[in-house]
Amino acid sequence: MAKQAKFSSRIGVIAATVGSAVGLGNVWRFPAEVQSGGGAVFLLVYIICIFLLGIPVMTAEMALGRGGDSDAVGAFRNVTPRRRGWWMVGALAILSSYLILSFYMVVAGWTFEYLVQSVTGDLYSPVHGQGEEAFLDRMGSYITGTYRPIVMTLFMVAANLFVLLKGVSGGIEKVSNVMMPVLFLLLIVFCGVSLSLPGAGAGLEFFLRPDFSALTPLTVVEALGQSFFSLSLAMGIILTYSSYYPSSTRLTRTAVTVSLLDLLVALMMGVIIFPAVMTFGLSDSNLAGSSLVFVTLPEIFSQMQGTRIWSSLFFLLLTVAAFTSTISLAEVSVAFMQRRGGLSRSKACMAVILPLALLSPACSLSVGPWSGYTICGMTLFDFLDNVTTNIMLPVGGILMCIYLGWVAPKSFLDGQLTNFGAIRSRVVGIIHFIVKWIAPVLIALILVSGFI
């Protein structure tokens, strides 16, 4: 079997993993969740979830990945060769990440379309009318269209193939090393712009001053789900990337760094969005889901000086965030095809990416011309979104925690977190306890709430 590829530097390890974690979850989903979860109180619960659940589970998944030294299926087999059935948890993760990728790619295509239209100025052409209504119409007619969204989705599919073919260090790591600094730079610029708006105070108040009367059990469950989604947990992603970590990487420190940077991006998005929304007095209802970035923000940009520049920079930010996440979602399957299927890197990339050239356009069409065909009353797009994030992700998360807490020997975790005694780690016991007792129960809450 070919030797496992590795990231070549510490910066590369962090950049690639942050690139995976920071995605549409931070930029798009998080502000919408804050809005519907009652503002700062959601943020507070979310931060607790990151520390209580996110960081420990990420550390444990990293241990499984690096110690397992393989793809998501192979890792379980290598860590506990005698407990045969557990590889299925890895298989579930691979399937979930692939299904997520199929519709995530479509949204990545939307972000790219908006980038192109911002650069050309088409998005703000007076021909299409002005105001929120006009932007809502434009988004609706764009995403339900037949050809254009498919072309953009296929462009993102091809861009993924291009990077993946270049390999772990020469492709994923290099792209992340360039794109992550760009992303943070853009975020800083936008924070500056937003904070200079007249409504900055009111926006920050909503985002940062908790109103505890808005706290409900649902807030907690939503925050838990968001932390899992945002940190790319239980999808085989962290597991696969950490199999590329050098043996000297300090896992706990890496998990803390990645999680805090992911949280920082979410916080910066809040600092960007809420002052802007307060300043331009847009209706709350439009802060939900996809309309936040594709309707509310264009409307805000249209009222600012330098519309096209700000809009282009913002959609560049969004495209970068989505792109590095799609790469990580795809790499889970590529690694599997390479290790289990014994394929060369290029064949594995083809085998993973080419089917997406059919599956993702099908997802795109399902919100447009094919919206009449439904599964359980939902379009293919919504069905995949719901099944993966509400069922497969939590089920995979519970099983992975049970495996790491109860099935894999504690000495395994200990060995990985201390780099086999080379460094000291005072947190092995805490992480083991959380993964064994707390995380499965909390993740079960996410699962149950999905059915209520």
Q: Tell whether residue 235 is a contact of ligand PFF (CB under 6 A).
A: yes
Number of other CB atoms surrounding residue 144 within 10 Å? 14
- In the complex with ligand PFF, the residue whose CB is nearer, 333 or 425, is 333
In the complex, the smallest distance separating the C-beta of residue 325 from ligand PFF, rounded to whole angstroms, is 4
In the complex, the smallest distance separating the C-beta of residue 30 from ligand PFF, rounded to whole angstroms, is 8
In the complex, the smallest distance separating the C-beta of residue 230 from ligand PFF, rounded to whole angstroms, is 4
In the complex, the smallest distance separating the C-beta of residue 397 from ligand PFF, rounded to whole angstroms, is 10
Cα–Cα distance for residue pair 329/106, rounded to 1 Å? 14
Q: Per-residue DSSP letters for 253-290?
A: HHHHHHHHHHHHHHHHHHHHHHHHHHHHT--GGGGSHH
> What are the φ/ψ torsions at residue 142 (nearest 5 degrees)?
-70, -55
Cβ-proximal residue to ligand PFF, closest one? 25
Q: Tell whether residue 270 is a contact of ligand PFF (CB under 6 A).
A: no
Q: How many CA atoms within 13 Å lie on the side-chain side of 140?
A: 7
Q: Tell whether residue 291 is a contact of ligand PFF (CB under 6 A).
A: no
Q: What is the DSSP letter of 375?
A: B
Q: Tell whether residue 26 is a contact of ligand PFF (CB under 6 A).
A: yes
Q: What's the CA angle centered on 150, arms 148 and 156, to 5 degrees?
A: 110
- In the complex with ligand PFF, the residue whose CB is nearer, 47 or 215, is 47
Q: Tell whether residue 334 is a contact of ligand PFF (CB under 6 A).
A: no
CA torsion through residues 274, 47, 248, 168, sign = negative
CA torsion through residues 249, 223, 445, 434, sign = positive
Q: What is the DSSP letter of 70?
A: S
Among 14, 16, 18, 21, binds ligand PFF (CB under 6 A): 21
Contacts with ligand PFF, 93-122, as mask; x by CB under 6 A: -------x----------------------
Contacts with ligand PFF, 367-406, as mask; x by CB under 6 A: --------------------------x-------------
Q: Tell whether residue 325 is a contact of ligand PFF (CB under 6 A).
A: yes
Q: How many CA atoms within 13 Å lie on the side-chain side of 8?
A: 10
Which residues of the chain form contacts with ligand PFF (CB under 6 A)?
21, 23-26, 100, 229-230, 232, 235, 237, 325, 393
